[in-house]
């Protein structure tokens, strides 16, 4: 993933967002895993037998990551520009190789995604941690606690505000350091002036 992002010169924020989007997209496979594959304890037993010398060969075929999970890396520009297509809404008809195909008729059945398992909405992208922390740190006044009015703000606008806040904090800290240095310099000059008057 990171190698692909480096090839397209993605920023650190874009890399984090892409990984987060892929993780969210893959979560449905954890909630409703496809049948026909080894269970986790069966996979662990295969590797344990190989590492402990019980079997001489590692009889294991890696399971690939579904294409729709890494779709954001293949088509990064379309993820935030195009609305969902019919395939995304009613299923992508993915069919992958299963183990024990001879005795399991259901293993070859194509999996369709139910409507409730939509990919991440293009109008509700993953929020960066820095932006979330900025919003959580904002304290509401007592007069606005009961208001339930909501507005929509583009994520890029929130990111710009967060960057400006960070810059103001940096400038404030730098100004504080300059103030300390100036006070120290003035104090030293004042002391030298008093010593000079005594002489």
- pLDDT tens track for 151-180: 788 888 888 998 999 999 999 999 999 999
| Phi, psi at 103, each rounded to 5° | -100, 0
**88 and 162 inside one domain:** no
Q: In this structure, is residue 86 part of a structural domain?
A: yes
Q: At 38, list the tokens.
A: 């080894």
**19 and 112 inside one domain:** yes
pLDDT of residue 84: 41
Length of the chain: 199
**57 and 115 inside one domain:** yes
Alpha carbon distance 27, 29 (integer Å): 5
Residue 17 has pLDDT above 70, yes or no: yes
Average pLDDT (189-198) is: 89
Find residue 94's DSSP bridge partners. 111
The tens digit of pLDDT for each residue in 81-97 reads 433 444 444 444 455 55
Q: At 119, list the tokens.
A: 């990919």
**134 and 108 inside one domain:** no
Q: In this structure, is residue 145 part of a structural domain?
A: no
Query: Across the chain, how many H-helices and E-strands are there?
Result: 7, 0
**10 and 38 inside one domain:** yes
**107 and 134 inside one domain:** no
| Phi, psi at 172, each rounded to 5° | -65, -45
Q: In this structure, is residue 144 part of a structural domain?
A: no
- CA 141 to each of CA 15, 68, 84, 195: distance values in angstroms, whole numbers, following the listed order: 36, 44, 39, 53
Query: Structure pTM?
Result: 0.31
By C-alpha distance, which of 23, 34, 31 is closest to 93?
34
- Torsion-angle region of residue 133: left (phi > 0), alpha (psi -120 to 50) or beta? alpha
Residue range(s) defining the domain that contains residue 51: 2-126
Alpha carbon distance 107, 163 (integer Å): 50
Domain boundary pick from 126, 159, 182: 126
pLDDT of residue 15: 79
Which position has the higher pLDDT, 121 or 196?
A: 196
Residue 189: band (very low, low, confident or very high) from pLDDT cuts 50, 70, 90: very high
**104 and 195 inside one domain:** no
Domain count, the chain: 2
**72 and 115 inside one domain:** yes
Alpha helices in 52-198 (DSSP H): 71-74, 86-90, 129-137, 155-198
**96 and 188 inside one domain:** no
């Amino acid at each position: 993933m990171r190698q692909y992002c480096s090839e397209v010169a993605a920023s650190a924020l874009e890399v984090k967002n892409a990984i987060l989007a892929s993780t969210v997209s893959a979560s449905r496979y954890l909630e409703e895993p496809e049948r026909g594959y080894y269970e986790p304890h069966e996979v662990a037993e295969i590797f344990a037998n190989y590492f402990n010398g019980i079997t001489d060969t590692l009889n294991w075929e890696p399971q690939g990551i579904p294409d729709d999970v890494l779709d954001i890396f293949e088509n990064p520009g379309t993820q935030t520009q195009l609305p969902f297509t019919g395939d995304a809404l009613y299923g992508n008809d993915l069919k992958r190789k299963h183990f024990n195909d001879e005795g399991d008729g259901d293993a070859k059945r194509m999996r369709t995604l139910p409507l409730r398992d939509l990919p991440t909405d293009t109008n509700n992208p993953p929020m960066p941690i820095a932006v979330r922390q900025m919003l959580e740190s904002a304290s509401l006044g007592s007069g606005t606690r009961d208001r339930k009015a909501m507005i929509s703000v583009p994520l890029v606008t929130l990111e710009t505000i967060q960057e400006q806040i960070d810059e103001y904090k940096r400038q404030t800290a730098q100004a504080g350091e300059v103030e300390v240095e100036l006070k120290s310099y003035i104090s030293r000059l004042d002391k030298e002036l008093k010593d000079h008057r005594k002489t």
